[in-house]
Structure 1
Amino acid sequence: MTQLKETTSYLQSKVKAKPKIGLILGSGLGMLADEIETADKIKYEEIPGFPISTVEGHAGQLVIGQLCGVEVIAMQGRFHYYEGYGLGAVTFPVRVMKELGVDTLIVTNAAGGVNQSLNPGDLMLITDHINNTGLNPLIGENVVEHGVRFPDMSTAYDRTLQEIAKQTAEKLAISLKQGVYVWNTGPSYETPAEIRMLDKLGGDAVGMSTVPEVTVARHAGIRCLGISCISNMAAGILNQPLTHDEVIETTEKVRESFLQFIKQLVQNID
């Protein structure tokens, strides 16, 4: 609580904006933050209590300003368990967003396609998730001021926001797939056998993020919307090696449709 208040006070002293919408931008998707106007950009290493992003393709800064006239706070790069951070550190920025007044969180990621009806470059609306790690950021003492001991996750991804997303995509003539996202810790990609298992479990896409942030956001009473960019087909489907370069290359190809979609979505939510 002490660290949370210190971090929040620091950010409030640096910016005047009071964002209601938070954005977490995944690998290769940080270009959205470059669209934010009258922006205050604060490097993670300057923020008390913040970890430092170490992943290629993550700028590692908070960007706070206006996106199409809507005040937002964006994480241009996130933190991951595989970087060696505990889940408390990984999700700390979500707690800070709540303290700053955020009540809606849009979480994006680059994910591998498990469902073979998906294709690299598709945008997928996350309808639900599977935590395949055995980890949970809420393990430990529960702080009542943060949320209840046993939070409900039956609507982890807000249904009203999902409808807004589908309507927005339809108006923009953007194909928006839907599916279940699976969280694995990484950093190694899955084996073909693991992908076959996830397919049988009901997973449509797999990645190394998102679930911890959404879990903490729901605990804090923040409504969530999740969007995956299918950056590659998961192991064994196309019988070719997987690389992070492929992830970045694919997200660059969908740049325009992703930017158009999220910008319009933010306006529709507000």
Structure 2
Amino acid sequence: MIDIKAHKEQVEEAVAFLQSRLPVLPEILIQLGTGLGNLVEAMESSISIPYEEIPGFPHSTVTSHAGNLVCGTLAGKPCAILQGRFHYYEGYSAREVGFPIRVLSLLGVQTAIITNASGGLNTTWSAGTIMTLKDHINQLPDNPLRGPNIDAWGPRFPDLSEPYDPALRKLARKAARKLAFSDVTEGTYICIPGPSLETPAETRMLRQWGADAVGMSSVPEIITALHGGLRVLGLSVVANVNDPDDFIPILLEDIVEAANQAEPKLQKMILEIVQEL
């Protein structure tokens, strides 16, 4: 049984710690995924706090995730950037993966922009495509809401009939048009446990299920945000596209490199979206 009392105390301790450290509480949360950590350079009047200093925060073990909470002003709005995330495959529970989102939701964040790098399943796309999430499929054998519910944080059975806020998705499309980005699209994201990458047969199966892109992150954080009443926008950089009938080996180094190349475009989109919020 999950020790919900201890979890609640950890969350409240982290909230109190950040309330004492942050001069301005954030209204917008941006979580940056693999190869997408440089948006913090656009922050003004920022303060950076390593995850290790925040009570209860897990520690990132993935080298491409810096592991800092950066708070300040972005496009004139008070924002918090999670520079790196945690994953189920690192050994954390889905509840632990969603811990930072829970803490920030209780600090007063109202909007969450969750980003990641993914593998493309839609063979009409190419590496570097930015996918706005319109739906997702959760294949993790865990849920961040499993165990006793804390009613003050959200409902026992949150509705996910429209997980990604229509107004935010519209803003993303508007930003793409304004920036003349032709390779921005919408699709369905599927989250798998990892850390092993997909076989050709698994890739074929995921495509048949209706997924356009696959990754190993984001869904626990998104469910936690939705449970806490946040509006959510999901943005995924498609780092590679694999045809199961002509499969090419997938290397993490290639995924990080592709995400790095697409990062400036994603940053421009996020800045445009934040400015319009």
| TM-aligned CA deviation for residue 203 of structure 1 | 0.2
**Cα contact 2:130–2:237 (8 A) shared by 1:** yes
Match of 1:222 among 223, 230, 246: 230
- 1:35 matched to 2:71? The reply is no
CA distance in 1, matches of 2:174, 2:84: 27
Distance 1:24 1:166 in 2: 19
The structural deviation recorded for 1:238 is 4.7
State whether residues 132 and 183 of structure 1, in contact with CA within 8 Å, keep that contact through their aligned partners in structure 2. yes
Q: 1:232 aligns to what?
A: 240
Determine helix, strand or coil for the equivalent of 2:98. Answer: helix
Aligned counterpart, 1:254: 262
State the one-letter code of the partner of 1:232.
N
Aligned to 1:197: 205
Which residue of 2 is the match for residue 105 of structure 1? 112
Unaligned runs of 5+ in 1: none
- Stretch of structure 1 that moved more, 200-209 or 130-139: 130-139
| Structure 2: distance between partners of 1:25 and 1:238 | 31
For the 8 Å contact 2:123–2:243, the answer to whether it is kept is: no
Q: Deviations over 1:98-131 (max 9, x none)?
A: 1111010000000000011111111011000001
**TM-score scaled by length of structure 1:** 0.97
Aligned residues: 269
**Could you tell me how far apart the structure 2 residues matched to 1:161 and 1:171 are?**
15
Tell me the residue number matched to 1:118. 125
Contact 1:27 1:77 in 2 (8 A): yes
Give the conservation status (yes or no) of the 8 Å contact 2:95–2:143: no
Q: 2:271 aligns with which of 256, 263, 269?
A: 263
Give the SS at the match of 2:73.
strand
Contact residue 95 and residue 220 of structure 2 kept, 8 A: no
Answering whether residue 218 of structure 2 is matched by residue 210 of structure 1, we say: yes
Structure 2 partner of 1:183: 191
- Check whether the contact 1:121–1:251 (CA below 8 A) recurs between aligned residues: yes
* 3-state SS in 1 of match to 2:24: coil
Deviates more, 1:237-246 or 1:201-210: 237-246
Identity of aligned residues (%): 45
Give, in angstroms, the shift of residue 235 of structure 1. 6.7
Structure-2-length-normalised TM-score: 0.95
Task: Report deviation, 1:134.
Answer: 3.3
8 A contact 2:93–2:142 mirrored in 1: no
Residue type at the aligned position of 1:22: L
The CA distance in 1 between the partners of 2:106 and 2:64, in whole Å, is: 28
Partners of 2:155 and 2:38 lie apart in 1 by 35
1:15 maps to amino acid? L
- Structure 1 distance, partners of 2:21, 2:66, is 19
